[in-house]
Amino acid sequence: MYPEYILDEVFDFFQYPENYDRAMISASLQKINCRDNKISFTGKNVEPVLECSKENALGFFLANIPAMIVNDDLFNGILPPKLEKLRKDTLELISLQKFNEVATLDLYLLLEMAMRCAYSKWLGNKITISRYGTDDIVLDNYDYRRLKLYIRLNRLGRTDINVNGEPFPGSENSLLRWATRYMDRPTGLMFRLSLNVRNLLAHGENEWKLYPISESVRTAVSSAGKLLSKIKPGMPPDQLKGSRNYATPPQRRYRSYSSRRPPR
């Protein structure tokens, strides 16, 4: 369903692309189709009913990246309270069918919070901040948010310090790199693209009509739960089979903007 149009639009703003992303997104678009001039998803008509158009198909894809890209079995564990609240709030917003941009923003905020919760879990109860040429700093019971604030207020620098022996992921991009090494390729793509859309929405950069559905919430919650279930305090990245090497940034492939509008 309008695959080239959707792919061009996605890679016009995608900040964190990696090799094979285009192929995976292209394969996921087979889940969207037309039935009696109405958009269907995995063979079922979308509710509320959407007429077949490239704009509606793009808006449906961007609001449902989790359900479009990830096919895993659902995770049924218990979420941290802050993620459970986001889950309920997002489902309620979707049910109202009035605040689709806010619902989509909440959906992808859940994924960002999942990464923060995962890093907080990895920190454990005792944190050691080290930097070459200075004494170590030991802290107790800090989560990601409080640790990031501590580093900034004490002017320790985010790029030249280690936390518990690893570089501190003080930016969204570095936190993504930290988290996605514990994910398979489709889940990693889902997180990277969802958070890119979340950033655009948070800054009022939205050119689309979005149509989130509850299945995307269930898939996002499942992916968040699986990430949290894999993380153990202080675990090294190579402890998990198939994990990525944090020290080696992924190769990136960028589109040329010479024939289209300038990048956002």
So where are the chain's domains? 3-115+178-239, 123-167
Residue 260 clears pLDDT 70, i.e. is over it: no
Distance CA 180, CA 199 (A): 18
Residue 243 clears pLDDT 50, i.e. is over it: no
Q: What is the mean pLDDT of residues 51-68?
A: 95
What are the tens digits of pLDDT across the range 27-56?
999 999 988 899 999 888 888 889 999 999
What are the tens digits of pLDDT across the range 73-107?
677 778 899 999 999 999 999 999 889 999 999 99
pLDDT at 254: 36
Q: Which two tokens stand for residue 75?
A: 């995770």
Residue 163 clears pLDDT 50, i.e. is over it: yes
Residue 255 clears pLDDT 50, i.e. is over it: no
Question: Tokens 């094979």 map to which residue?
Answer: 20
8 Å CB contact between 214 and 91: yes
First to last CA, the chain: 25
Q: What is the mean pLDDT of residues 188-199?
A: 96
Confidence of residue 239 (pLDDT cuts 50, 70, 90): low
**Most distant pair of Cα atoms in the chain: their distance:** 69
Confidence of residue 237 (pLDDT cuts 50, 70, 90): low
Phi, psi at residue 140, to the nearest 5°?
Answer: -115, 135
What are the tens digits of pLDDT across the range 196-235?
999 999 988 888 999 999 999 999 999 999 999 999 998 8
What are the tens digits of pLDDT across the range 5-15?
999 999 999 99
Q: What is the dihedral of CA 2, 24, 253, 111, to 10 degrees?
A: 100
Q: What crossing angle do the helices spanning 81-96 and 100-123 adopt, rounded to 10°? A: 170
Which range among 66-80, 115-129, 138-152 shows the weakest confidence by mean pLDDT? 66-80
Please state, rounded to an integer, the average pLDDT across all residues of the chain.
87
Q: What is the mean pLDDT of residues 237-246?
A: 50
